[in-house]
C-alpha cells in the first residue's frame, strides 16, 4: 500500500510539472538582443563579460561568495594540525616540466584576464589557469601544501570579494546594485576582475592545497 501511494503521488507530481511546463508563455525576444542594445554602456566589448560583471553582476558577486564560504567551511572542519606525510620520490621530468610550465601558465592567466574585456576570457578562466599552475607545482614538490593560512593568504583569498563588494556598495547611491557610470564602467570592471583573479586563484588552489596530506603553515 505504501509503495502504491508513493507511486501515485509521484505520478501526480509529474503531471503537475508537465502541466506547468506546457502552460509556460511563449519565449520573448531573449537575452542576446537586450545585451546587444546595451553594450555601449557596459564598459566592455564582449557580451559574456558584460552580463557577468555589469548587467547581472550581483549573480557573479554571490557566486564568488559561495566559493569563499566553501573554502571557509573546508578550513573549519579540517584538523588544525596534521602530520607531514613522508615525501614520495618525484620524477625529475615532472619537476622540470613544472618549472617550465608554471611561468607560462602565469603569462596565460594574465592574458586571459586582459582579453576578457573583448574576447573569451576573464577572471574565472585566468584564476583557473593560475590555480592549476599552483597544483602542478605542488604535485612536483615545488610548492608545499597549505595548513593554517597566515594574514597575507587570508587577505589574498578574501580581497577580490571585498573589492567587488566595496564597488557594489559605493554604487548603491545610483539607485541600483552595480550600476556602473558608463564613463567609468570599463575601469571598474577591470579593477574587479584583477582582484577576483588573484582571490579566485588562491581560493581554487586552496581547495586542493588545504586538503593535501602534507600540511605546512603558510
User: Contact, 100 vs 174, CB < 8 A?
Assistant: no
3-state secondary structure at position 186: helix
pLDDT tens string 51-72: 888 888 888 888 999 999 988 8
| CA distances from residue 91 to 57, 88, 103, 140 in whole angstroms, order as listed | 44, 10, 20, 8
80 has a pLDDT exceeding 50: no
Domain extent listing, the chain? 45-82+90-209
User: Contact, 85 vs 214, CB < 8 A?
Assistant: yes
Confidence of residue 81 (pLDDT cuts 50, 70, 90): very low
pLDDT attached to residue 28: 62
Mean pLDDT of 10-37: 81
Total-model pTM:
0.74
Confidence of residue 29 (pLDDT cuts 50, 70, 90): low
CA distance 71 to 201: 12
pLDDT attached to residue 57: 85
pLDDT tens string 85-113: 444 566 788 888 899 999 999 999 999 99
Confidence of residue 83 (pLDDT cuts 50, 70, 90): very low
pLDDT attached to residue 101: 92
pLDDT tens string 151-200: 888 899 999 999 999 998 888 876 666 788 888 888 898 899 999 999 99
CA distance 88 to 124: 32
Return the percentage of the chain with pLDDT > 70, whole number: 87
Amino acid at each position: 500500500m505504501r509503495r502504491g501511494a508513493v507511486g501515485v503521488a509521484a505520478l501526480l507530481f509529474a503531471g503537475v510539472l508537465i502541466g506547468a511546463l506546457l502552460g509556460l508563455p511563449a519565449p520573448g525576444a531573449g537575452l542576446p538582443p537586450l545585451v546587444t542594445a546595451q553594450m555601449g554602456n557596459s564598459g566592455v566589448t564582449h557580451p559574456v563579460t558584460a552580463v557577468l560583471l555589469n548587467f547581472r553582476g550581483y549573480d557573479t558577486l554571490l557566486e564568488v561568495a559561495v566559493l569563499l564560504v566553501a573554502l571557509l567551511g573546508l578550513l573549519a572542519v579540517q584538523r588544525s594540525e596534521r602530520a607531514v606525510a613522508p615525501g614520495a620520490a618525484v620524477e625529475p621530468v615532472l619537476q622540470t616540466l613544472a618549472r617550465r610550465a608554471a611561468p607560462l601558465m602565469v603569462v596565460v592567466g594574465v592574458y586571459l584576464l586582459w582579453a576578457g574585456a573583448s574576447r573569451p576570457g576573464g577572471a574565472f578562466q585566468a584564476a583557473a589557469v593560475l590555480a592549476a599552475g599552483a597544483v602542478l607545482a605542488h604535485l612536483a614538490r615545488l610548492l608545499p601544501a597549505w595548513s593554517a593560512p597566515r594574514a597575507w593568504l587570508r587577505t589574498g583569498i578574501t580581497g577580490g570579494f571585498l573589492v567587488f563588494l566595496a564597488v557594489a556598495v559605493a554604487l548603491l547611491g545610483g539607485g541600483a546594485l552595480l550600476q556602473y557610470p558608463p564613463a567609468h564602467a570599463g575601469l571598474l570592471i577591470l579593477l574587479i576582475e584583477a582582484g577576483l583573479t588573484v582571490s579566485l586563484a588562491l581560493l581554487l588552489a586552496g581547495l586542493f592545497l588545504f586538503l593535501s596530506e602534507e600540511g605546512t603553515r603558510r
